Structures are given as C-alpha cells and as structure tokens.
Structure 1
Amino acid sequence: MTPERPLQIALVAGEASGDQLGAGLITAVRARLGDRVQFAGVAGPAMRSAGCEAWFDSDELAVMGLVEVLAHLPRLLALRRKLYRRIIAQQPDVFIGIDAPDFNLGLERRLRRTGIRTVHYVSPSVWAWRPKRAARMAQCADLVLCLLPFEPRFYEDYGVAAEFVGHPLADSIPLRPDRAAARAALELPGTGEVVALLPGSRASELDRLGAVFASAAARLDQSRPGIGFVAPMAAPALREKFAAQLAAHAPGVPVRLVDRQAQQAIAAADAVLVASGTATLEALLLKRPMVVAYRLAQGTRILLEKLKLLNIRRFALPNLLADREIVAEVLQDELTAERLSAELTALLDRDSHDDYLQECDQIHDVLRQSASERAADAVLRLTGRSS
C-alpha cells in the first residue's frame, strides 16, 4: 500500500508579526500531523525554527502605506512572480497568505484559479479602509481566518467563508501581568512613575513619531520630577535612530532604551504612549492605560482623502474592540508634544482606572480562544486532513 503523501503547505508571511503567527500555526498543525506535513515559503526566524523551509525571508515584505508600497513595487512584483512559479511547480495542498494583503491577495487569486486551495490568515482592515477588498476576497481565498470578533460579518454579503479564531497575543499574555517583576527584569526602579514610549517598529514610523514622542517625554520630565521612561526598540537601527531623536529633543531625560522586550516595557509602566498598531492591543491585554498616536505619511494621507478610502471613525484597536472610546487617540495635525503630554498627565493623575481595567478584562476574555489551534483545525478541515 502506497503511504499517504505528506500534506504540503505553502506559506507567505509578511514581517515579524506574520512570522510569529505562522510559527504558531505550524506548531499547531505539526502537533496534529507530526511528520505527515511539510511547510515551505516566505518565512522569518520563528517560522524557520518551527520547521518551515524558507525560500525567501519575511523581511522582504516589510513595507507599509500606499506611498511606501509604490516605492518598492517593482521588487515586490518580481518576488511575487518568482513565488507563483515555485508554488505552481510544488503543487501544495493549500496556500496560506499570512497578513501582507497587498502582496498576498493577488498571489492567492492567481493560485486559486489553478485549483490550489487558499487561506488568508489575518483579515485585511476592510472595516477601516478600502472596504471593497471584502468583495475581492471571494476571488482570492477559500477561507479567511480572522483575529478580531467583528471581522467575519464584513464578509457575509460576499459569500466569503470567514472564521474568528481569536488572537494569539490574548493566549500568550497573562490575565494579570506583574508590574514589579517587569520592572526588575528591565532594571527599572521599583517605585515612582514610569511611562513606556513605543513610537513604532518601522523606520518610517520613527520618522513621523519619534521626535514628538521625545518632546512629550521632555515636557513630562519637567512637570513631574522623578518620572522615568522606558522605550523598547525592535531593531538596533531603530534604537540608534530614536536615541538620536531623544538627544535632540529630550536631552538629559531619563529614557531607558531596551532591545525588543515590548511586553515587559508595557507591563512595567504606569502609562503608555504608543503608535497605533498591534502594540496598542498588547497594552490593552497588559491592562495599561495608554495614549495612541499616529501620523500617516503625507502622500498616503492625501491619497486616502482624495480617493475617499477611509471607512472608520476610530483608529485605535482598543476603541474598535470596545466599540467606544476607552483610550485617547491623537492623530495627524493634533499630534503635538503639548497634547501628548497633557493626555499622559491626565492618565497619571487619575485616581482609578477600574472601568478601563474591566473593559480590558472583557476584551481579553473574548480574544483568548487558543488561536493557533483553532486556525490549524480550520486549515485541516479545508484540506480534508485531520489528526
């Protein structure tokens, strides 16, 4: 009797967050199938460690915003053509595009036309901008795996199979983070106020937010003697860039720069100043009050306004999940050091955050669904395989 061919899964993960999602999915599928499954595609270090053969590194997809994508378009299109040819030659049982929708959806559509089953892991933000992408998904993906509970309903009108699996961060972050332990691990004082500064994980975000974050820290340092700051940096180049911004805009201010360790830095803090994005969800799950800031690239902002592609009243994930404003959002022209320091001062002076903490607990409970395991089960159901 001929042994069953191992399940062949091709994956493309965009940047570090996609790499972590992919690693969790790979681990969960392997737990069910053992050596009866093989993985290959675009992967980062976490996916490679989990057992994925890397044809290309996920960092090659790490661009954001309309203008930034356009600048890299020739290289990205060439990479996508190479991937398409390689996947067609391999003929996997399923292709999984992890995030990176501007790259993956076109690839998924072409592969699906050839009969290869496709999954898109992480719904594009169709609820925020470019909502017509929800209709496009019907041509791209046999299944959309959603991290947020309100996302599947956006696909119902288009006949797209979409399943909420929960968010891996909610599975990994403890329900009751330990501030004292986090401060000890980062060698921060056990007493006194600490503010975490998270101006972004990309150079383009630091270009837009780093200086104003530093200036806000300088204002707080003047008004609140003894306050301390911690800033986790995603890469050495970003640490160097932010250090220069601090030297220029907050000389002498006690800011402890740490490599990565974003969750520990947030857990150690009394309040968080954070760029809009996944880090806001980490701050919510770690039950820390926050001020969310964002400034689009000027070209991206003009395009969005001219083409009327925005479809949202709120930007911060905590507010979207709560369906009301539970954290302050400071955007675009409102983004000044004065405004940021005033919002942070209000948080630090507040007597109680009980209502906010209760909201955080409720959201954490909703998102804590064993996401990687649920995603693995959904993929295996699609392929007709099981443990």
Structure 2
Amino acid sequence: MIKRRVYIIAGEPSGDLLGGRLMKAMKNQYDGEIDFIGIGGPHMEAEGLNSLFPMRELSIMGLAEILPHIPKLLKRIKQTINDVRKQKPDCLITIDAPGFTFRVAKQLKDSSIPLIHYVAPTVWAWKPGRAKKIAQFLDHLMVLLPFEPPYFEKEGLSATFVGHSVIESGIELANGDQFKAFHGIPADVPVLCVLPGSRQSETSQLLPIFKQVAQKLKNNYPTLRIVLPTVATVAQYVKEDTLSWELPVLVVEGESEKFGAFKAADVALAASGTVSLELALAQTPTVITYRLKKMTHWLAKRLIKVKYASIVNLLHNQEIMPELIQDDCNVDRIYHEIVKILEQGQSNSDHIQALESAMQMLGQGEELLPSERAAACVLSIIEKGK
C-alpha cells in the first residue's frame, strides 16, 4: 500500500479529542502506513503527531484575550501555511477553530491538496452567509448534525454527516450506584447535578441563581444532595463560590466523575451547551438554562435564528428538555421545573424514547462510530484526490 501523509490541525481541546479519535480510526482502516503531521494536543500526540508548535497558543477565547496575541497568531498562520506547502500532504484536515483553520485553508485553496474541514460552522443558527464563504475555499466538510449538509451543499460544498462525537464519550460505562457509594451518598436520597458552564462568563451569571435554587430545594427536600462537576478552566472559581453556600456541595472533576454524577442524578440543572447532549445520552432529566449580559442578549436575539438552545430540542423541533433562557432563567421558574421532575419524574417511556431517538439521529447504534465514519470519508477523498 502507498504510504500516506496527512496534515491535521486542531486549535482547541475539543478538536484535539476529535483529531485523536480520527487518527486512530484512520490507522485502523488503512492497510498501509499513515504519517500524521500538523498541530494538536495530547490526544493527537498520543496517536503519533509531533505538533508543529504547542496547540495551547491557539486556545484563546474572547476579543480582549485575542488582541495582545494577534502578531504571534499571524506568524503562526504563516508558519503553518508554509509548512503545509513544504510537506505536500495527501490532504489537509482542519478541525473546528475557524478563526485559525479557515485562515490557513483560504491560502491553500489554489493548491492540489484536498482541503477537508471537520465540524461545521453553525450557519443554521446565525450568520448563514458563512456557508457561501467557506464553499469558496474548502473541498469537503464533515458535519456532526444530520440537518447540516443541505446548508452547505446548496452553496456547492460537498458535506458528509459523520455523527456527533458525544456518542463516543463513554457515558454508558458510568455507574450511578458506584458513584454514590464512593462519595458516601445514601442510595435512597435525591441527587441534583449542577452544571454552571465551562467559562467564567457563564458561571458568574448562573452560580448566584443556582445557589438560591439549591437553597430553596433543600428547604423542601432536606435529604437532597448536590453534586457539581466542573472543569479546570473554572474549577477554582467554582470551589471558592460554593464555599459560601449554606448547604454542602460536592464538587468533582474529570470525565469519569462527571459521567458518574450524571448517572447518579435524579435531575440536572445545566448551562446550555454540549453538556446537554451528554446528559441526554445519560438519560438524565435536565433543565437547560442560560443567561447573558443584557447588551449581549440584545445582540444575540437579532442574530440567532433558531427556536431552541438545546440540540435535542432542535432535532425534535419541540421542547423535550425544558429551557429557561435569560429572563426565564430565574429562581422561581427553575425551582418549579426541578420540582416537577422530582415529583412527577421524566423517566417515563415517552421522554426516554425521545432522548434515545435524538441520540440515534446523532449516530448512536450505527455500524460505524462517528470517528470511523469520518476516517472512511477522509480515506475516500485521499483515494480520489482533488
């Protein structure tokens, strides 16, 4: 078999995870040798990548954080473009991080290298004009959501639905009973899982509200236990904040602890985001919330074109998971929804069936995992050439 050379770029931890799984699947599917080069983090490095430079240089959020780094980022973009041309790979795979990856791909559109992007911009939610723009320089797009391809195909860009990476998260291996036993939580007490977000801009808005909700719940459910899975980006802030709560909060870190908490919980209170898909996969009854600063919300209302925040609700075009956004994200409304779940339960067959249906739409139960479908797509493109 011909030895293949694949250039692959990720710019943030989520992309690195996708990249690592994709590299592993490609090696498993290709009979010959694949030489991976590019930019990535620990997951991609574990699969044999020597990163051109540390990926953390690209993991910058927010305008205020980006501005001081612009000269260095521009230098890294030029360095990457030059390296791709020098390496002459069989294809270039860019993963999410459009601020960096699209700038690289644009400069290579006239090359003979097939340009493949993994994770579509959310043109269905806002700024639909982006579909036409990226169709001018990309050769193929691998998307996570089943309704995404038509948005790009109508602009002339080939798109393949490969499935959502949440399917490969390993949530099904978690055990709620073991989580409770390990943390000394009695088997028969109700558990509330609180997830205030992974950015301080989110947690600072939601934690004060969640604190009041938790206190109100504790007054009526005295045996209630509260578990708060967090991530490194906000862990210190969360730990310090919850010290002032009038009731004990078990703060846990790491994927296995998070998934164990999902399985142990009777109900979850979560910031809108990917975590809502993880909770749906765990079949944890969940109340989705979000709150922005007033000016940001005013702008968002004029830009965002979708009815729901949660992917599960978007897939079904109805509110399967209750959503309380902005002014609705208040103590009384949240308390009411959580009590409704605790008293009536959402573990009924219709609700579970709706969650299972959403996961099937995202690729659960398919013969190939999302990373395997993505690998097959890339290898097919390499075989055909540009």
1:324 to 2:298 alignment: no
What amino acid does structure 2 have at the position aligned with 1:104?
Answer: T
Report if aligned partners of 2:171, 2:278 keep a CA contact under 8 Å in 1: no
Q: Secondary structure at the match of 2:339?
A: helix
C-alpha distance in 2 between matches for 1:63 and 1:365: 33
Report if aligned partners of 1:211, 1:246 keep a CA contact under 8 Å in 2: no
Identity %: 34
Q: CA deviation at 1:335?
A: 2.2
Residues 197 and 141 from structure 1, CA distance in 2 versus in 1: closer, same or farther, beyond 3 angstroms?
same
What amino acid does structure 1 have at the position aligned with 2:218?
Answer: D
2:243 equivalent in structure 1 = 247
Report if aligned partners of 1:266, 1:283 keep a CA contact under 8 Å in 2: yes
Q: Secondary structure at the match of 1:53?
A: coil
Gaps of 5+ in 1: none
- What are the residue-to-residue correspondences of 1:343-358 with 2, within 5 Å? 343-354=337-348, 355-358=350-353
1:280 equivalent in structure 2 = 276
Report if aligned partners of 1:270, 1:289 keep a CA contact under 8 Å in 2: yes
2:228 equivalent in structure 1 = 231
Cα offsets for 1:3-27 (capped at 9, x unmatched): 94x3222222232221111111000
Residues 221 and 313 from structure 1, CA distance in 2 versus in 1: closer, same or farther, beyond 3 angstroms?
same
1:167 to 2:164 alignment: yes
1:365 to 2:364 alignment: no
- What are the residue-to-residue correspondences of 1:135-146 with 2, within 5 Å? 135-146=132-143
Cα offsets for 1:127-154 (capped at 9, x unmatched): 1111111112212321111111111121
What amino acid does structure 1 have at the position aligned with 2:356?
Answer: D
Gaps of 5+ in 2: none
Q: CA deviation at 1:214?
A: 2.7
TM-score (norm 2): 0.89
Report if aligned partners of 2:174, 2:259 keep a CA contact under 8 Å in 1: no
Report if aligned partners of 1:128, 1:312 keep a CA contact under 8 Å in 2: yes
Residues 33 and 282 from structure 1, CA distance in 2 versus in 1: closer, same or farther, beyond 3 angstroms?
same
C-alpha distance in 2 between matches for 1:85 and 1:116: 13
What amino acid does structure 2 have at the position aligned with 1:268?
Answer: A
- What are the residue-to-residue correspondences of 1:54-65 with 2, within 5 Å? 54-64=51-61
283, 290, 297: which one aligns with 2:286: 290
Q: CA deviation at 1:56?
A: 3.1
C-alpha distance in 2 between matches for 1:129 and 1:188: 43
Report if aligned partners of 2:175, 2:260 keep a CA contact under 8 Å in 1: no
Report if aligned partners of 1:26, 1:50 keep a CA contact under 8 Å in 2: yes
RMSD: 2.6
Residues 240 and 177 from structure 1, CA distance in 2 versus in 1: closer, same or farther, beyond 3 angstroms?
closer
Q: Secondary structure at the match of 2:229?
A: strand
Q: CA deviation at 1:172?
A: 4.4
Cα offsets for 1:209-246 (capped at 9, x unmatched): 233223322222222111011111211x5221001221
What amino acid does structure 2 have at the position aligned with 1:337?
Answer: V
